[in-house]
Amino acid sequence: MPNAGKSTFIRAVSSAKPKVADYPFTTLVPNLGVVKVEEHRSFVVADIPGLIAGASDGAGLGIRFLKHLTRCRVLLHLVDMAPFDESSPLENAKSIINEIERFSDKLAGRERWLLLNKVDLLPGDEVEARCKEVIEGLNWAGPVFFISAIGRQGTDQVCGEIMVHLESIRQAEKEAPELVEEELVYQLDMQQEARERIESLRQKHRAERLRAKGKLAVDNGVDDDFGDDDFDDDDYDVETVYVE
C-alpha cells in the first residue's frame, strides 16, 4: 500500500534516497539501492510504487512496475501497522496479496517475507497482539519481522538474514547448476505473464478511450472515425533510479 514505509526502508538500509513524504504515491518510479551487510557482502533492494485495491485492473501506479519484481529472489511485503487512515493492516495486506495473485500466479509464488512496519507507533503492550492478528489472519508461514524503518529498528536483522538467504541460494546453484536454468525459466515465465497482463490492460485502456471519444463525437455531431493517437504506449515504461 502507499505510505507503508517502503521508501523509508530503502533509505534506512542503503544509500538510495527516494523521496519520502506523508502523502500517497510519493514514489513515482522504482528505486534500486545496494545494501552492504559487510565490505564484500551486498545485495540490491528495489522499491516500487505502492499497490492499491484494483491495481491488477490498472488502478494506481504500482501495476506498471510489478514487472521489475520478476527478477527478485525475495519479495518483502511491508505492512503499515499504524495507518494514518485507521484502516485495517490485515485487510490492507490481504488486498495487496490478492492484487499480486491476480497479476501473476508465478510472481505470487515467489518467496515472500513479511515486514510489519511502524511497530514503534503502537502502544507497547499491544504490539504482539496486533502483529499476531495480521500473521494469523494471513495464515503466514514465512519469515516475519517487526520493524520501524524510520527508527532503523530491526532493519539490520532483516538485511542480515536476506544476505544469508541469498548466499545459500548461490551456494546451492554452484553445487547444482541445473538450479540456475530452473530459475531462468521461472523468471522468463513471470516476465511473460507480466507482459501479457500489462498488454491486456493496454488493450482495455485503449478500448475505454475509444468508447469515450466515440460517445463524445456522437454527442457533438462529429464523425466518429478517429484513431487512437493520444494513447501513450509508454505509459508502462519507467525510469529506474539506481544508487550505490
CATH assignment at residue 74: 3.40.50.300
Cell of 90: 490485515
Is 45 part of a structural domain of the chain? Answer: yes
Is 14 part of a structural domain of the chain? Answer: yes
In the chain, the amino acid numbered 21 is A
* pLDDT at residue 239, as a whole number: 41
Instruction: Report the distance separating Cα 244 and Cα 14, nearest Å.
Output: 7
Instruction: Report the distance separating Cα 72 and Cα 242, nearest Å.
Output: 15
* pLDDT at residue 62, as a whole number: 47
Q: What is the pLDDT along the chain (244 residues), one digit of tens a residue?
A: 556 778 889 889 987 765 454 434 444 567 788 899 988 899 998 887 665 555 455 554 445 666 777 888 999 999 999 998 889 999 999 988 888 888 788 888 899 999 999 999 999 999 999 999 999 999 999 999 999 999 999 999 999 999 999 999 999 999 999 999 999 999 998 888 878 877 777 787 778 778 777 765 555 554 444 344 433 434 444 444 444 4
What is the number of domains present in the chain? 1
Is 146 part of a structural domain of the chain? Answer: yes
* pLDDT at residue 7, as a whole number: 82
pTM above 0.95, yes or no: no
Is 239 part of a structural domain of the chain? Answer: no
Q: What are phi and psi of 220, to 5 degrees?
A: -90, 0
Instruction: Report the distance separating Cα 129 and Cα 135, nearest Å.
Output: 10
CB 51 within 8 A of CB 108: no
Q: Specify which residues 32 forms β-bridges with.
A: 46, 242
Instruction: Report the distance separating Cα 32 and Cα 18, nearest Å.
Output: 9
Range of the domain at 33: 6-180
Is 193 part of a structural domain of the chain? Answer: no
Cell of 55: 491495481
3-state secondary structure of 103: helix
Is 225 part of a structural domain of the chain? Answer: no
Q: What is the dihedral of CA 3, 30, 42, 164, to 10 degrees?
A: 60
* pLDDT at residue 47, as a whole number: 82
In sign, the C-alpha dihedral spanning 86, 87, 88, 94 is negative
Is 113 part of a structural domain of the chain? Answer: yes
* pLDDT at residue 161, as a whole number: 97
Is 92 part of a structural domain of the chain? Answer: yes
